[in-house]
Amino acid sequence: MARRISATDIRVYGDPVLRAEASRITDIDDSLIGLAERMFEVMYRAPGIGLAGPQIGVEKQIFVYDLDDDPQVILNPVIVESSGEWVYDEGCLSIPGLFVEVLRPKQILVRGWTLAGEEVEVEADELLARLFQHEVDHLNGVLMFDRMTPDQRESALSEYQRRADGASVEPIHIKLA
Amino acid sequence: MFLGTPEAAVPSLLAVHAAGLPVRLVVTRGDARRGRREEPSPSPVKRAAIALGIPVSHDVGDVVAAVAGVHDPLGVVVAYGRIVPSAVLDLVPMVNLHFSLLPRWRGAAPVERAILAGDRETGACVMELVAELDAGPVHSCIRTSIGGEESAAELRTRLAESGATELAHCCAAGFGEGRPQDGVPTYAAKVGPSDVAIDWSGAASTVLRQVRVGGAHTSLRGVRTRIVRARPVQTSGDPAGESGIVTRDHDGAVVVACGVGSVALVEVQPEGRRVVDAGAWWNGASSSHLGTVRFG
């Protein structure tokens, strides 16, 4: 029976699982489908628009997302093409309270598997492309901090630490230069 | 000959055809791709021409061959979206239906510019096509007032319909000498994102015009958001607060304070999301998202 899971089960910055490389999924079975269902539950409750396996402590290459009421699961994703540049104020469920304007490619092409085991390619632009890049990063142990400029990283780390120490409950917003 | 591309040109093609005037060839811009994965799709004018059984070309040069042997050939141009080369124009005289009261708003976006400028009246002119942009002698004009809450799309549809009737009437009756345009011309440049970027410190009336043009965007609670529909708010005189601040009034309206006056949001579309009713947006935006979108 599936364990009850709550939004507080989301692993936060400092947990080593967020820095591990998730392993490729080779078998799609009932337990994987159950995992995807739990991930949606956690994601909706948080709330967020995406969630990657390591964020609930599962070192597997899986992420779920829901943009425009269209819930989807992608396994073993790889970004095969990227182009353009786009700045977006990015937040992460594993780094609560921090929003940073991060510069990343604007359009990407992602290849992976569906939960039915079929290979799928998705072209994404702007917000969806951002979501994919963020989730694929999680599966490689990469966090938002690694995508910031050195100046942003310095202030993000210190302000995040202050907030985590209870100095403030207000969200932190860090602009790009 | 008929040259045109978007939806606004279709009523003219239909009206000219219905008036019994022979249309030998329709020239339209090449098939455009809509969306990232879609196949290229034909222009509205191309679809209409196919339905009427009229040959279609994407090359304006084909006009010359098509008029061979025709006595008094005439080209009719409505929102073609390309310049007609003077080499073609020298062989085939053309008339153009333009959606403004010339010489005001010559150029690409006359309907949008009339709304942005707060014009109370506009119209459509049938004019002779000349080398200089929208500068030809005018044969006929219709005038209409612009509704206070009318969108650019609605106004364009109205002008396309009444302009088409006038155009077909002119074509059937024959063209005499046009009347030179009288007055100082203004130019209607294409509307870009910066034209419809909302500045809440400005007047509510300016914001409402931008919304009516379409694509008006702003940042609300840290998320880039398109304002799809909005309406004026009768304010009691007191400013609702600092400009850009969003509140919900006692009638349930979601109101944004501007530098002068206020605007009530009706429908909004946060980036990457669908269009939602402003009330639903307010509930979602105020309860769940602290600042912006959180990915996993």
- Segment B248-290, tens digit of pLDDT: 887 888 999 899 999 999 999 987 777 889 988 887 764 333 3
Distance CA(B279)–CA(B292), nearest Å, equals: 18
Residue B144: pLDDT band (50, 70, 90) is very high
Catalytic residue flag (residue A119):
no
Residue A2: pLDDT band (50, 70, 90) is very low
Query: If you ran DSSP here, which 8-state letter would residue A124 be given?
Result: E
Instruction: Report how far Cα B216 is from the mean position of its chain's Cα atoms.
Output: 14
pLDDT computed for residue A155 by the predictor: 94
Cα dihedral: A169, A170, A171, A177 (round 10): -130
Alpha-helical runs (H) found in chain B:
10-18, 44-52, 62-66, 86-91, 110-116, 152-173, 204-213, 278-287
Percent of chain A with pLDDT over 70: 94
Please list every residue in chain B whose beta carbon sits closer than 8 Å to the beta carbon of residue A126. Answer: 271-272
pLDDT computed for residue A4 by the predictor: 52
| CATH code 3.40.50.170 region(s) in chain B | 2-188
Q: Which CATH superfamily is domain B193-294 in?
A: Formyl transferase, C-terminal domain (3.10.25.10)
Q: Could you tell me where the beta strands, DSSP code E, fall in A45-134?
A: 50-52, 62-66, 71-83, 86-92, 95-104, 107-113, 119-125
* Pick from A168-172, B119-123, B151-155: least confident: A168-172
In the structure encoding, which two tokens stand for residue A49, read together? 């628009």
Q: Closest CB to A50: pick one of B36, B37, B295.
A: B295
Residue B212: pLDDT band (50, 70, 90) is very high
* Pick from A59-73, A102-116, B27-41, B52-66: least confident: B27-41
pLDDT computed for residue A22 by the predictor: 96
Average pLDDT over residues B196-202: 94
Percent of chain A with pLDDT over 90: 66
Please list every residue in chain A whose beta carbon sits closer than 8 Å to the beta carbon of residue B290. Answer: 91, 97, 171
| CATH code 3.10.25.10 region(s) in chain B | 193-294
Residue B294 touches chain A, beta carbons under 8 Å: yes
pLDDT computed for residue B38 by the predictor: 58
Distance CA(B142)–CA(B155), nearest Å, equals: 13
Average pLDDT over residues A64-80: 89
| Closest among B240, B295, B289 to B265, alpha carbons compared | B240
pLDDT computed for residue B291 by the predictor: 42
Tokens 């605007």 sit on residue: B263
- Side-chain half-sphere exposure of B28, counting CA atoms within 13 A: 26
Residue B57, H or E segment: strand B56-57
- The CATH architecture that domain B2-188 belongs to is 3-Layer(aba) Sandwich (3.40)
Binary contact (B272, A127; C-beta < 8 A): yes
Average pLDDT over residues A88-93: 90
Distance from CA of B287 to the nearest CA of A (A): 10
Distances (CA, A) of A118 to A51, A81, A110, B294: 21, 20, 14, 28
| Closest among A87, A40, A93, A95 to A63, alpha carbons compared | A40
Binary contact (B222, A99; C-beta < 8 A): yes
Please list every residue in chain B whose beta carbon sits closer than 8 Å to the beta carbon of residue A89. Answer: 222-223, 291-292
pLDDT computed for residue B289 by the predictor: 39
Q: Is B39's pLDDT higher than 80? A: no
* Shortest CA distance from A11: residue in chain B: B296
pLDDT computed for residue B247 by the predictor: 83
Q: Are strands B294-295 and A86-92 parallel, antiparallel or unpaired?
A: parallel
Q: Closest CB to B271: pick one of A91, A123, A127.
A: A127
Distance from CA of A135 to the nearest CA of B (A): 7
Query: Strand pairing partners for A108?
Result: A82, A124
Count of beta carbons in the 10 Å neighbourhood of residue B216: 22
In the structure encoding, which two tokens stand for residue A62, read together? 């899986």
| Closest among B65, B52, B62, B61 to B23, alpha carbons compared | B52
Contact B215, B197 (CB under 8 A): no
pLDDT computed for residue B288 by the predictor: 39
Count of beta carbons in the 10 Å neighbourhood of residue B67: 19
pLDDT computed for residue B234 by the predictor: 77
* Pick from A18-27, A60-69, B217-226: least confident: B217-226
Distance CA(A132)–CA(B6), nearest Å, equals: 35
Distance CA(B253)–CA(B233), nearest Å, equals: 9
Average pLDDT over residues B80-91: 90
Residue B292 touches chain A, beta carbons under 8 Å: yes
Residue A61: pLDDT band (50, 70, 90) is very high
Q: Are strands A71-83 and A119-125 parallel, antiparallel or unpaired?
A: unpaired
Q: Closest CB to A134: pick one of B271, B288, B295.
A: B295
Q: Is A7's pLDDT higher than 90? A: no
pLDDT computed for residue A46 by the predictor: 81
pLDDT computed for residue A143 by the predictor: 97
